[in-house]
Each structure stands twice: as structure tokens, then as C-alpha cells.
Structure 1
Amino acid sequence: MTHGGPDALGAAPHDFSTNANACGPCPDALSAMEAADPRRYPDPLYTALRERLADFHQVDTRRIVIASSASEFISRITMAVARRGGRRIQVPPQSYGDYLRAAAAWGLEPVSRGADLVWCCDPSSPLGQPQEGLDACIEGQGAEATCVIDLAYEPLRLEGALSLTRERLNAIWQLWTPNKALGLTGVRAAYAVAPPGRDEMTAHLAALAPSWPVGAHGVALLDAWTRSTTQQWLEESRATLRSWKSAQREMCEALGWRCMPSVANYFCAKPDVPYAAERATALRAHGIKLRDAASFGLPGHVRLGVLPPASQQALRLAWR
């Protein structure tokens, strides 16, 4: 699948193709990483970090699983389910391609019900919308199914709230990747919160992990994520993003694009003319990059992360 971000030409000055928080980087997180000591290995069990994350989520420390990235955890939990006899996977209609890519590597068949591994995502990617029928999807799974909700964009939800009750959320696996919300996507670090009573599965996942999946800078990022000052900065950044998003949608609609609804810091739109390779190349020459949504199952659409007004103006001028 295609992915946003830097390419062979480097980083685009106006990169709408990723969903990182454009208000970042978060000052506290950046300072924490600058102070990190890369001369030494982290604690291989991440004892203090897991305790801080557990306190942040108000859960038992045994429920925290450290991962090097969301994609690494997706691959690892898919492997774990397959090794335990799982053969079927369920994903949302439009979703992150790594769910199915990992499933294909382990021979899991996509199904619409009765899956052994169920993926949810809210807000969804690429649409940035609440997942339709989320509660019913979780409720309908068998007791032996492994259900994971990808919460990569929950910290960047600009409208509404997650529809799940705390009890329902507590009953499934939660995957968190704070680097997007902190505007530091180049630092790979993630973690999952296991449902209670899944000690055997968490131990299996630990056994499948490489040694030191997260380095010193990733540990610093996840530690900073739990601080109240970081969460306050994030709250303030969401207010800014709401303003920028409103202006960006108005700009796109003025160009004749049809914008789809979204509650997150990104949205999909259908441009007034096809986003063909020639146009993408021409925009890239102007320092602008969009995300073609065809690989998400939305041909003819693009996904745009919300960027500051100067980048919006650059897109408007270059498109015309």
C-alpha cells in the first residue's frame, strides 16, 4: 500500500499526506527526547514506563504491552492469533492496510462475522469518522475472539467523543500510538492495553517481541505522553486544529471539491478534477503532497491532514 510522508524528494514543505498534529512537535515531549540518554539500553522490561502508562490509564501494570509501533503490534498480535489457531479476520470497510497485510502473511481470511481477530478504529482512517456500529460489532464477537480497537486518532478527535462506555472499552484490546498526536511521527513507539484476565495472551505477545522493541527516545516520548502538561498542550492544539480545519474545508469547497464529514484532524475529499499521477507530480514540484485514497478503497478521492493557513494558501494557488 502507499503511505504518506517524505518520498524520494525528501519532505514536502506542505505535506497534507500524513495525519500528524500540525501544531507539533509537543514541547514537553521534544525536551524529554533531547534529554534521553541514547548511550544505554532501556530497561528490557520497561518496568517504570509500564507503571506510568498503567497509572495514566488506571489499569493494572500487567495489562500494558510495549510495541515498537502500531504496525509492529498489528503484525505481532496477528501472529499470536494465527499461532493459536485463528483463521479469520474482520476489518472495517475502509481501514489501515496493515491489518489485512499482516493477516495475509499468516493466512487469515477476511470475513464479515465470526472472526478470530477483529479490528476496529475510531476515529476511522481514512474517513476520520466514528466507526459505524462499533458497539454492536464488539458485542457480536465470540468469547474467544481477539478484538482490538486502534485509537491512533482518538487524541486528535476534534468533535464528539468515543461512543464506547468505559466498561466496553475495558473489555477489548486498545492500541495507542501517541506520536501522531504529539507531532513526532519520526519517533516509533506504541503500546497496547490488554483486557483484564488476558495474562496468557500478554505473556505470549511478550515472548514474540524482539528485545528492546522501543529505544531511549521512544521511552522518553511515551513517558512524556503521560504528563499533565503534555495533555494540556494537546487540548490547546485541538482548539487550533478546529479553526484550521474549518478554513481548510472552506478552501477545498471553494475549489469545487466535495468534502466528506470527519471528526478528526483530517478528512477525505473528491477534487473537481482527477488526482492523476501528472497532477500529483506537478503539485509535488510546488512542495505540496496529498494522500491518494485509492489504496483505502476510495478511488478518485484524496485524504488531507489539517495544516496551517500558509499551507492551505499554497495548495489553493498551486491547484488553480
Structure 2
Amino acid sequence: MPEPVHPDTQQAPHGGPGKQPFAGLDFSVNTNPYGPDPALLSAVMRADHAHYPDPDYTAVKERLGRWHGVQPGCVVPAVGASELLHRVVRAYLRPGGRVLSVLAPFGEFGRAVALAGGKLDVAHPDQAAEKVRPGMNLVYLGHPHNPTGRFFQSGELEALRLACEKADALLILDLAYATFLNLPCPPPSEHLVLLHSPGKAHGLVGARPAYTLASPAVAAALHNLAPAWALPAGTAALLEELPEAREFVRETLPNVARNAADLAGELARRFEVEHHGTPYMTVRVGNAAGVAAALLAQGLKVRDCASYGQPDWIRVSARLPHENARLIRAMEELHV
């Protein structure tokens, strides 16, 4: 029997459902609690699920391309940002190649690097641009970062982009939560890939919509790694409708921001809290694994940040006000 190529590379930990059934309040997933967006949900339901979709997803690429002001050949749709990150790493990282992440990376990116036999370094934001060196294949930046919520100012982002261009490295800008903060971002280029995960802001993470904006050459390389019919019909229909689905986020995201600020303020009365305007925040509780287990016993799920190198912190994502109040009460009763 042949041996597997990657026998010891474990799955990356995530928030959300686990192997055991959970029917409580889930604060571990960063998504819009007012979802799902009814317009996008309707598009999913109207999709033709009886036939194979267009294998090139021409309409999706054209609609998203017009929306972002790029050619259709610069758009690569996919099921989930995780899958796109694995494609980028497979396309551009050779065994032994070096990768830089600004702060701890999203788990799937780190796992993709490990599967490819790459070497991952982590840099503080203040030192990110100077850490980019020739021979470095990829640089990853969560903008804003998960789980801390930190984000780059335009000058810092431009300095990092120029450093990657000078070093001939590809900068992956993960914009999964940028919509919550209305963060501006530069256009794609030969050294810059933009990764979008609209399911978060629209409360439709279960549909797994995602796409990249890249130069035609990079987009072609990523498309080449896609299996046939990479998107189911419903997810393709969602992405095609996305440019028109503006009312939901316009109405709900101010409420999400307000609820998160209120939750952060209440938790800060007792705990150290890091919050930068995203729907999620990190809370220093000491033994994060123990606190997460204690809250889970009360029907409240939070994200232990040990996998991000922060074993003393948990991440919580704001829900509706009355649900946040329940978490606040439970946290106040903890003996930490």
C-alpha cells in the first residue's frame, strides 16, 4: 500500500460547527447575524440545480468584472476562500519556499503552506515591509486581520505592495471582513491578489461564495488548478447577483458595528479586549481553552485563539443585542 504524501498535516481548526451537535448561541463564527441576505438567498433558490452550470462561469466573471472595473479574465470564482488559498499556494510555492504572514495567518493558509513543504514566517505589522526579501514567494495579509481585527492604513498597504513588487513576491490580500469596515483596496496587479469572501457580510457563509481578483496571468494559473464545475449552480448564481445586492449590507452593517462596539465596551469592564471595529474581537481570559469549555457547557460557543499563538485569548463575534447580553452575563460569572 503506498504511503500518503502528507501523513502528518492536520486539519486547521476553525470556529463554527464541530463534530458534536450544537444548538446554543454560536459566537465563534464571524458573520452578519442579521442574515441571510434575502436577495442573495433568492438567487440561490432560483438557480438551475438540475443541470451542470457553465464550466467557465462566464456570466459570473463578467458581472463581477464590471463591478470591480477589471476584465472578466481577472476574476476567479470558487467555493470558499480556503480553496482559493490552497490554489494560490499550489500555483506559486515550491517545496522549501519561503512565505511571510503579517500576524498569524488564517489557518487554511498555514495548512496550505505546510502541505506544499514551505517555510512560514510571521511578521509584526510595523516590520512587514522590511521583512519581505528576494526569494520570498508569497506574502499574506488579512485586511482586516483575523482574529485581532487590525488593518493597514493606505500608506502602510502601499509600502507592503511595493516591497512585494521589488522582491518579486505575490501579495495575497484577504478581504474577508473588509466590507464590515468599508476598507478601500488597490486594484489587482502582477504582484497583488485580492481575495473576497462575501458570505460573511451577507450572512450566507453556508453557500461558501468566494472569488479572487488578479492579473490575467495569475488568474489563469488559479483557474488552471480548478476542477471541472468548481462552483455549484447556487453559489454561481449568488456571485452573479452580488453586485446588485447592496440594500442588505447598507441596512444591517451599521447595526452590526454598533452591537460589536457595545459588546466590546461591556466586556472591557472586566477583561482586556482588542477591538478595531470588526464584528469580532479578542478577549484575554487566561486559560482560553478552559473558558471556552466552560461557556460551551452553558450553550455559548466562542473561539479559542491558541491556534493563532494566543492561548490566553478567545475570539467572540457579536450577535444580536439580547444574545450578546447573555454572553456578557456568562463572562461576568467566570472565575478568571
Note whether the superposition's TM-score is higher than 0.5: yes
Q: Give the TM-score taking structure 2 as reference length.
A: 0.85
Contact 2:288 2:312 in 1 (8 A): yes
Q: Which amino acid aligns with 2:141?
A: C
Instruction: Report which structure shows greater RCO (CA 8 Å, sep ≥6).
Output: 1
Contact 1:188 1:214 in 2 (8 A): no
Q: Which amino acid aligns with 1:121?
A: G
The aligned counterpart of 2:142 is 121
1:237-252 equivalent positions in 2, closer than 5 A: 237-252=252-267
Q: Report how far residue 301 of structure 1 moved.
A: 0.5
For the pair 1:202 / 2:227, whether they are aligned, the reply is: no
Structure 2 residue aligned with 1:304, among 295, 298, 316?
316
The aligned counterpart of 2:179 is 155
1:170-207 CA-partner distances (Å, limit 9, x unpaired): 96111111111111111122111113xx43x3222222
Q: Which amino acid aligns with 1:89?
A: V
Q: Give the TM-score taking structure 1 as reference length.
A: 0.89
Structure 1 residue aligned with 2:231, among 202, 208, 214?
214
RMSD: 2.1
1:69-148 equivalent positions in 2, closer than 5 A: 69-82=80-93, 87-111=97-121, 112-114=131-133, 115-131=136-152, 133-141=156-164, 142=166, 144-148=168-172
Contact 1:124 1:131 in 2 (8 A): no
The aligned counterpart of 2:6 is none
Q: Report how far residue 143 of structure 1 moved.
A: 5.8
Distance 2:170 2:30 in 1: 27
Structure 1 spans left out of the alignment, 5+ residues = none
1:216-265 CA-partner distances (Å, limit 9, x unpaired): 111122122211xx2221022111112211221122123x1111131211
Contact 1:179 1:188 in 2 (8 A): yes
Q: Report how far residue 100 of structure 1 moved.
A: 1.9
Contact 1:6 1:12 in 2 (8 A): no
Distance 1:182 1:169 in 2: 27
% identity of equivalent residues? 32
Structure 1 residue aligned with 2:242, among 204, 225, 239?
225
Q: Report how far residue 86 of structure 1 moved.
A: 8.0
Structure 2 spans left out of the alignment, 5+ residues = 1-11, 122-130
Q: Report how far residue 47 of structure 1 moved.
A: 0.5
1:135-167 CA-partner distances (Å, limit 9, x unpaired): 322111236322210111111127xx34x5x45
Contact 2:281 2:316 in 1 (8 A): yes
C-alpha change, 1:14 and 1:194, in structure 2 (3 Å) is: same
Number of aligned residue pairs: give it: 307
Q: Report how far residue 282 of structure 1 moved.
A: 3.2
The aligned counterpart of 1:53 is 64
Contact 1:68 1:190 in 2 (8 A): yes
